[in-house]
Amino acid sequence: MIWMMERAGKKNKHNKGFQFWQQDNHPIQLETNEMMQQKLDYIHNNPVEAGFVDSPEDYLYSSARDYAGDKGLIEISFIE
């Protein structure tokens, strides 16, 4: 993961080394169930896109485990 933070840091002229957190924020209002589901799918798929796991439910720290029928690390409220 260090190489990923270093790569992100080099892309941002405001950094001298590494970057862990995203520096911008563009909040949107989730108005429909479809929008909420799309954002949830996006979040669940992030570890797959990063190459950490093959499927979202394989990532230990993801609520995708709960949505797949396994038990995750924290209690969640499901989006219906």
DSSP 6-62: HHHHHH-TT-SS---S-S--------SHHHHHHHHHHHHHHHHHTTS-SSGGG-TT-
How far is residue 60's CA from residue 70's CA, in Å, rounded to a whole number?
11
Task: Say what the pLDDT of residue 51 is.
Answer: 94
| Confidence (pLDDT) at 22 | 66
Determine contact, residues 41/52, Cβ cutoff 8 Å.
no
pTM over 0.85: no
Per-residue pLDDT of the chain (80 residues), as tens digits, is 778 778 777 777 777 788 766 667 778 899 998 999 999 999 999 999 999 999 999 999 999 999 999 998 888 887 66
Straight-line distance from the first to the last Cα atom of the chain, in angstroms, rounded to the nearest whole number: 34
User: How many CA atoms are closer than 13 Å to the CA of 73, on its beta-carbon side?
Assistant: 6
Going from N- to C-terminal start, the domains of the chain cover 33-80
What pLDDT score was predicted for residue 77?
A: 84
